[in-house]
Amino acid sequence: MDRFFDRYNTYRSLIDTRLSTVIDRDKPVTMYEPARYVLSGGGKRVRPVLVMLACEAAGGDPRDAVDAGVAVEILHNFTLVHDDIMDRADTRRGRLTVHKKWDENIAILVGDELMGIAYKTLLNTEKGDMRALTRVFTDGVIEVCEGQSYDKEFELLPTVSEEEYMMMISKKTGWLVAISAEMGAIIGGADDARRAALVEYARCVGRAFQVQDDLLDVVADKEEFGKPIGGDIIEGKKTFLLVKALNRATGDDLALLEAVAMKTATQENLVARVTAIYEEYGVLDIAREKIAQDTDAAIRALEALEDNDGRQMLVWLAQMLLERKH
């Protein structure tokens, strides 16, 4: 496995190096100081590495996909800055959010500017059809905004259907993963079938990743997880688990889950009580099964591609994300 990890880190370094150069101005200070702060916040850089790997799996040179990868990462960060304002979040990855460290006006404007910088970086890409690439990227912007909009709408409802939830989450978090693979495919010169296979891979991986996130919130080892267990329950976040349980539970159990969703539940022993309901209705096993299925489907989708280093890395990436503990 070390070989894969090393390679992942090599690609991540290329991304981080390029990312550190995208802001080439210092003034206005109230714009570029917070913008630099956002982009230096770290992270696994899964999306940009995926752009590079998809390009490689399609037969291209992964270095041709660095700019597009960095563009997706900047786009992702723009959504975080604006979402944090909307969610009134004070911290992100252990650091103050932009609207907390500076103010809300600055956070709005820095987010807007990051979107401009994302496009500017994307436009440096030399391989692949620029119109197709920009179209896929732009659909990403639109879908991720729609996803956030649905998410905010759903926050006001006691329950949503599983279909509605999956639709929302595929837009809000899945879409940028999918366009990462699609952009890599375009730059790598994939034909339609291979491009579709890479998108299918990414959709499955994105879903598995999201459900895994929701599951870890409840079942993770406290030490390894690095944040309190049950945070989503306390926040009343509509996760895969909560939505599944809401659509299965009855009586007092349902009443409690609805109270969680509406953020009106009494906090005493809440995480334990809700986790017990999840166990009772088999929701944790459903999640585990869903993750395993999606990971399998992701790897199967790659069979449409020739075997090469890029494809092997994508197989490893899907498994690695499945096995992660935080």
Which residues here bind a second copy, judged by CB under 8 A?
28-31, 78, 82, 85-86, 105-106, 108-109, 111-113, 115-117, 119-120, 123, 130-131, 134-135, 138-139, 141-142, 145-146, 148-150, 152-153
Phi, psi of 91 (to 5 degrees): -130, 160
* Least Å from the CB of residue 283 to a second copy: 26
Pick 1 or 29: Cβ nearer a second copy: 29
Query: Is 247 exposed, middle or buried (CB count within 10 Å of its CB: 0-12, 13-18, 19+)?
Result: middle
* Least Å from the CB of residue 72 to a second copy: 14
Pick 25 or 222: Cβ nearer a second copy: 25
* Least Å from the CB of residue 28 to a second copy: 4
Pick 119 or 225: Cβ nearer a second copy: 119
Pick 122 or 260: Cβ nearer a second copy: 122
Which residues have a Cβ under 8 Å from the Cβ of 237 and sit 6 or more positions away?
none
In angstroms, the CA 63 to CA 56 distance is 9
* Least Å from the CB of residue 228 to a second copy: 26
Pick 2 or 24: Cβ nearer a second copy: 24
In angstroms, the CA 181 to CA 202 distance is 6
In angstroms, the CA 47 to CA 16 distance is 12
* Least Å from the CB of residue 140 to a second copy: 8
**H or E stretch covering 267:** none
What the block records as the tokens of 151 is 């998410």
